[in-house]
Structure 1
Amino acid sequence: MNLIIDIGNTVAKVALFEGVTLVNVIYDSNQSLDCLENICVEYAIEKGIVATVIDLNECVSERLSKLSVPLLWLGKDTPLPVINLYETPETLGYDRMAAVVAANEQFPDKDILVIDAGTCITYEFIDSQGQYHGGNISPGLQMRFKALHQFTGRLPLVTPLGRSLPLGKDTETAIRAGVRKGIEYEISGYITAMKHKYPELLVFLTGGDDFSFDTNVKSVIFADRFLVLKGLNRILNYNNGRI
């Protein structure tokens, strides 16, 4: 069984795979990873992969070092099952690459746009030849709400939950609608522009934030919350001779 450890900006996700089948996903603190000990007792783990976008503290580093299974640490020199055309692979977030790897595994002969809506919103493109061309990074949902509050004198800190209107009727609803609609229109714009260049484009949506899309391209959107985990599992299998 494969152990997938995905340490993000806000939370850590620990997943178990049997071959390519996702067995379980556990959410834990990215500052402690308390769940690791019990997981190793409960499951017969053969190998694992660690991917992190943050610097690990002493507690997490110690827990990982005590694991009795071989760990692959995902980095710029890790062999990948796709062609990476990114000019600075050392600065490429593992989650961005893992997401396109997973999408490519499902549709290896298709042009694919992967949209990951988490702390940031990323847009990644991999072509039908398995070549990852790169992508763009944009502020995520919570980041936009916080920016409007922190970089202005009087605007309040608004949450995504609450009264939602097409056009705001007060400051709170104006901010909520502005942020949510801004993201919707941004995503819709990316899809429309990419489909103009790649008419058979497939679009994957993943990440921790939920969005309601009102576009004419719904039929080409595949929603998969665990796309990054699946990509990390594929990279682990690829490095162990099991493509």
Structure 2
Amino acid sequence: MILALDVGNTETTLGLFESEILSRRWSISTSLKRTSDEWAVLIKMLFEGEKYSVSELSGIAVSSVVPPVDFNIKNAFLKHFDLDPLFVGPGIKTGVNILYENPLEVGADRVVNAAAAIKLYQLPCIVIDFGTATTFDFIDKGGNYFGGLICPGLNISAEALFTRTAKLPKVEIGKPKRVIGRTTISSIQSGLFYGYISMVEGVVKRIKGEVGEVSTIIGTGGISSLLAPECPFIDDVDEDLTLKGLKIIYDKNRERN
């Protein structure tokens, strides 16, 4: 069994692969204060809660955009489970030819998503990852990662509106009944929801204006299932794209383990 960890700014998603099947999935908060011992206890509890044993693991693959937590994750597996995690980064085979001006600047999550898109979808494609930040990434027909855009996520936008204004309340993010709000709360909800969808649609249109038509547009990330139904230009929603990409990259580096 292989365990994939997608460490994001807000949440960490863990996926357990039995052969090629993603059989279990967990989401926990990303915490800078979690020690290596606490990581080990948490992972053991998650496994035992699903009637698994960590001793059944043969490998770990990690994508992290939060460097301060990396040491404790690595140390947890080395110290408690005698496993050396594979962290996606320089020197790791990904199958992705990165055409960024400085390839080292590309976040591990974006590389992992590209690896999954190349393996699982028809190219050229656009990957939209709705996370703490929303990223748009373009992969061409030859499997080259060209780059993309990084935008504030929907939750960050909502939080900024609440914290940087005196009278606007914090609202729950969801699809309003109508575009034109009749109360302050419904107006904010509509502005966030439909404004964000319009931003996504506009960005996709501009990307196509630069690169031409694309074969596939993929949505992933925490709120992709909320937004994608209002985005008919998104061809497929795969909330587990990053986990699948981690498994693909792990397999490419299996001899290392």
Same fold per superposition (TM over 0.5) = yes
Give CA-to-partner distance per residue, 1:190-240, whole Å, 9 cap, x none: 23333454324310000001215445535xx11000001111111111112
Partners of 1:19 and 1:241 in 2: how far apart? 16
Calculate the TM-score normalised by the size of structure 1.
0.87
Give the drift of 1:137: 0.7
Calculate the TM-score normalised by the size of structure 2.
0.83
Give the drift of 1:10: 1.5
Q: Does residue 32 of structure 2 align to residue 44 of structure 1?
A: no
1:217 is aligned to 233
Q: How many residues align?
A: 239
CA contact (8 A) 2:171 2:189 kept: yes
Unaligned runs of 5+ residues in structure 1 are none
Structure 1 residues 178 and 77, CA gap change in structure 2 (3 angstroms): same
CA contact (8 A) 2:96 2:111 kept: no
Q: Does residue 99 of structure 2 align to residue 69 of structure 1?
A: no
Q: Does residue 192 of structure 2 align to residue 179 of structure 1?
A: yes
CA contact (8 A) 1:76 1:89 kept: no
Pick the aligned partner of 2:134 from 100, 121, 124. Answer: 121
Partners of 1:216 and 1:73 in 2: how far apart? 35
Partners of 2:127 and 2:70 in 1: how far apart? 30
Give CA-to-partner distance per residue, 1:127-148, whole Å, 9 cap, x none: 1101001111111111111111
Structure 1 residues 163 and 194, CA gap change in structure 2 (3 angstroms): closer
In structure 1, the residue corresponding to 2:15 is in which secondary structure? strand
2:18 is aligned to 18
In structure 2, the residue corresponding to 1:35 is in which secondary structure? helix
CA contact (8 A) 2:126 2:214 kept: no
In structure 2, the residue corresponding to 1:9 is in which secondary structure? coil
Q: Which has the higher helix share?
A: 2
Which residue identity does 1:205 align to in structure 2?
A: G
Partners of 1:58 and 1:76 in 2: how far apart? 16
Give the drift of 1:69: 2.3
Structure 1 residues 95 and 37, CA gap change in structure 2 (3 angstroms): same
Which residue identity does 2:85 align to in structure 1?
A: L
CA contact (8 A) 2:59 2:83 kept: yes
Partners of 2:215 and 2:202 in 1: how far apart? 14
Q: How does 1:73-92 map to 2 (within 5 A)?
A: 73-92=87-106
Which residue identity does 2:6 align to in structure 1?
A: D
Partners of 2:214 and 2:59 in 1: how far apart? 37
